[in-house]
Structure 1
Amino acid sequence: MFETDALRLLVTVAETGSFTKAALRLSYTQSAVSRRIASLEQQAGGPLFERLPRGVRLNSAGRVLHRHAVDVLGSLSRAEHELAALHAGRGGILRVGAFATANISLMPAALREFKRARPDVEVTAVEGRSSTLMRRLAEGALDLAVVSDYPSGLPPAEGVTTTALLGDELLVALHHGHPLAGAGTVDLRDLRDEVWLQDAPADSPTMLADAWARAGFRPRKIIRIAEWAGKFGYAAAGLGVALVPSLATHAVPAGLVLCRLGDLPPHRTVHIALPAAPVPAASKLRDLLHDAADRTVPTGNQA
């Protein structure tokens, strides 16, 4: 295994053509250079230089090792520059994740500003459930994630820190012809006979299930639909009602009306999750997410 310092010495001797000049350039003694080159030649299995009356030059074996030494030292130099840029918040790759409705407006708004502020940083983004994103952060596969405590609480992950970003109001989506569509605010108890559209099974311990219990009922029927497009489609057809977070209001189709849920709605909090020692680019995006949260979260009822 060739040491980096020995390869650097080989390249310097080849450039200067002299042990003495290489020693001066690298602040070595001539005897130290001679010993290191002799040790390197022993590792290489034979001489690497032709000894001339005035100086030295690479022989055929030396030229082979020199070519690889230049490649190795160049790669290491590039790695050093990329790491320095990464730790300074310049260049490199920033790996981010978010749950579905955070990707409607919140994360895109923050990433738009991030690209303006850090155009040299390449961003890769993934979408997933909060539990999956927290796990990927713990595994080192993500640098930052936007996660939610809905529907069943914020999943813990070793080595991951979370800070609250915003409280996201959960509204109910009704078909525009629903008798309660013009109410603005709907009592959850008035929806006891509705078909509910949700991803979780009926017996899952979710915040919505807790809200139903406080309202004194269980839904007569639940249709399990995972994707938002499907929920919107069913609700717009009058086949059920669905909870819609305020972060998703920009994506709600025209055939639906959003109403608040009185004094018994479930509530969720959106968090920024980071490793214990985030890279500077992730810290920059965290700050921009706070700015985006102030600009993009709708207020007021959508009826």
Structure 2
Amino acid sequence: MLETDMLRLLDVVARTGSFTAAALELSYTQSAVSRRVATLEAEAGGPLFDRLPRGVRLTPAGHALHRHACDVLKRLAMAEEELAAIQRGTGGRLRVGAFATANAALVPGALRDFRAAFPGVDVSLVEGLSGELMEGVGDGMIDIAVVSDYFSGVPLGEEAEVTPLLEDELLIALPADHPLAGADVVDLRDLRDESWIAGAQPDGATTLGEACARAGFTPRVEVRIGEWTGKLGYVAAGLGITMVPAMAAPAVRADLALRPLGDFAPRRTVYAALPRPAPASARALLGFLRRGLPHPAGSPLPEPADSPDVAAGRFA
């Protein structure tokens, strides 16, 4: 088996054309170079250099081995550079996960700044529910995920490192001609007779149901749509009203009115989840996520050591 050091020695001797010059460059003695070349020739099955009155030159076999040695050494150098870039966070790949509304503004803005700072990193993005994204982090398939505790929290494992990013408030989306579209704050109790556009899940507790229960009524849901962008289309058509996370406000269509719900507004916490240990590039993106401007109805959170809820294994 030809060792890497032997291939490097072959390259230096071939390039300098001298055992003496090679010894100086490699900080060896000339006799050490001669012995190593003899060992290499024994492994190669024949002479690799013609010994001349002054220096050496490659034999045909030496030329063939030297060509392959250069290819191997070049690929090893590329591998070392790539590994070093990954360790620095300036190269390699970064697999990012995010739930749908995080992809409206928060994640795109952070990725824009990240790519400008680290153009050598190959970024891929997957969208999914927070629970699915947390599984991806735990399985090593996602390097950083933006998740939320909306509605029932997300189970945590010891392999996940979780950082709170911001508190997100849900707003009410109304048709532009709705009587309450111009109100500074909408009282949820004033919407008890409205038709609601809700999520696709008909069973179990929901954020809408919980918020309306606190306001003293049960919402009349007439349309169920899975994606929040689809809900907005039905609102614009005058078929009902819906709740929209404030972090998605920049992407809401212009023919709708978004208004805060005051004390009855549901709120959620948005987190960044990283595996343990996390790639340097994931930590760099976390920095850009935290430096992003908070949305109007939310506020950034300080980075804690470990909150009681995180330690207990669930988001608050």
State the TM-score, normalized to the length of structure 1.
0.81
Q: Deviations over 1:230-276 (max 9, x none)?
A: 11111111223222011111222233222333434321111122233
Separation (CA, whole Å) in 2 of partners of 1:43 and 1:152: 66
Distance 1:132 1:49, change over 3 A: farther
Partner in structure 2 of residue 255 of structure 1: 255
Q: After TM superposition, list the pairs within 5 Å mapping 1:50-129 onto structure 2.
A: 50-116=50-116, 118=117, 120-122=119-121, 124-129=123-128
Question: Which secondary structure state, in structure 2, belongs to the residue aligned with residue 171 of structure 1?
Answer: strand
Deviations 1:116-173 (A, max 9, x none): 5x25444524141233433333344444332222233134355221111110101121
| Alignment partner, residue 306 of structure 2 | none
Deviations 1:197-217 (A, max 9, x none): 344411144444443554565
Match of 1:298 among 277, 296, 304: 296
Structure 2 equivalent of residue 242 of structure 1: 242
Structure 1 unmatched runs, 5+: none
CA, structure 1 residues 154+12, in 2 after alignment: closer, same or farther (shift >3 Å)? same
CA distance in 1, matches of 2:92, 2:22: 34
Q: Secondary structure at the match of 2:108?
A: helix
Decide whether the 8 Å contact of 2:143 with 2:282 is kept in 1: yes
Paired with 1:267 and 1:255, the residues of 2 have a C-alpha distance of 24
Identity %: 57
Residues 64-213 of structure 1 correspond to what in structure 2 (within 5 A)? 64-116=64-116, 118=117, 120-122=119-121, 124-129=123-128, 130-192=130-192, 194-213=194-213
Could you tell me how far apart the structure 2 residues matched to 1:133 and 1:40 are?
52
Q: Is the alpha carbon distance of 1:125 and 1:199 closer, same or farther for their aligned partners in structure 2, counting shifts above 3 Å?
A: farther
Look up the SS of the partner of 1:2 in the other structure.
Answer: coil
Instruction: Point out where structure 2 has 5 or more consecutive residues left out of the alignment.
Output: 299-316
- In 2, the alpha carbon distance for the partners of 1:242 and 1:36 equals 77
Taking the aligned partners of 2:32 and 2:143, their CA distance within structure 1 comes to 45
Contact 2:90 2:121 in 1 (8 A): no
Q: What number of residue pairs does the alignment pair up?
A: 297
**For the Cα contact (< 8 Å) 2:144–2:275, is it kept in 1?**
yes
TM-score normalised to structure 2 length:
0.78
Cα distance in 2 between the residues matched to 1:39 and 1:139: 47
SS in 2 for 1:263: helix
- Quickly say closer, same or farther: Cα 1:171–1:15, change in 2 above 3 A: same
In structure 2, C-alpha distance between the alignment counterparts of 1:46 and 1:120, rounded to whole Å: 48
Q: CA RMSD in A?
A: 3.1
**Aligned partner of residue 272 in structure 1, secondary structure:** strand
Moved more, 262-271 or 2-11: 262-271
Distance of 2:60 and 2:206 partners within structure 1: 72
Q: Does the 8 A contact of 2:104 with 2:251 survive in 1? A: yes
Secondary structure of 1:244's aligned partner: strand
